[in-house]
Amino acid sequence: MMEVNRSSSHLKTLFHLKTNYADLVPVYKIAKNKHLSTIRETKRKYYQNKINNSDNPGKAAWNIVNGISNKKKDRRNISIKYNGVTIEDPIEVASTFNSFFINTPKNIVENISADNVDNRVCVTKIVNQTLFLNPLSESELFLLRNKLKNKKSAGSDDVPMFLIKRVLKVIMQPITYLVNLSFQSG
């Protein structure tokens, strides 16, 4: 920072001198370019230091980019369309998610009958090696949630990760059930 101040002071002096001495114009231009380079380098070091000292460098970088571009966060509430009805109330959205994720697996399981399943289709090759997975607990799922990144981009299911993290407490029971069912059924 001190270097920028010295460079600025020197540049101001040259600016006033060049008006009286035409020979100093090229010297002023060189000093001006050096001053701009000094400013750019100082900014680069400042932002690099901010990123390096952050717990989450990616997030820090995006905060810097958004700060420089004056981009503000969108603080709109989440709305979903369920059975043709748009739901905007946050509590009702959470309740709808909860109902959907609790009832859907139950409905699927109830609609599967043992008579409709052909074991030859399910098992095409016998494997001698086995893998055992312990059932997932809700506390383990919550710990895994903390390791996930808050991305706004959606996966193949069109549900962004930040939304799943936000509503996980509400849908934790059905998610745990689905994961454990997946472990059991292969």
The pLDDT averaged over each successive group of 10 residues in the chain (186 residues) is 84 86 88 91 91 87 84 73 88 88 84 64 64 86 86 79 86 90 83
CB 57 within 8 A of CB 47: no
**In sequence order, what are the residues at sequence separation of 6 or more whose Cβ sits closer than 8 angstroms to the Cβ of residue 160?**
151, 152, 153, 154
pLDDT given for residue 133 in this prediction: 78
pLDDT number for residue 116: 60
pLDDT at 7: 86
| pTM for this entry | 0.39
Residue 137: the pLDDT is: 92
Question: For the chain, what are the domain ranges?
Answer: 2-68, 80-185
Query: Can you give the pLDDT at residue 157?
Result: 78
Which pLDDT does position 118 carry in this prediction? 60
Report d(CA 55, CA 19) in Å as an integer: 51
The confidence score (pLDDT) of residue 123 equals: 56
Query: Tokens at residue 145, please?
Result: 């949630």
- Give the 3-state secondary structure of residue 112: coil
What is the pLDDT at residue 165? Answer: 86
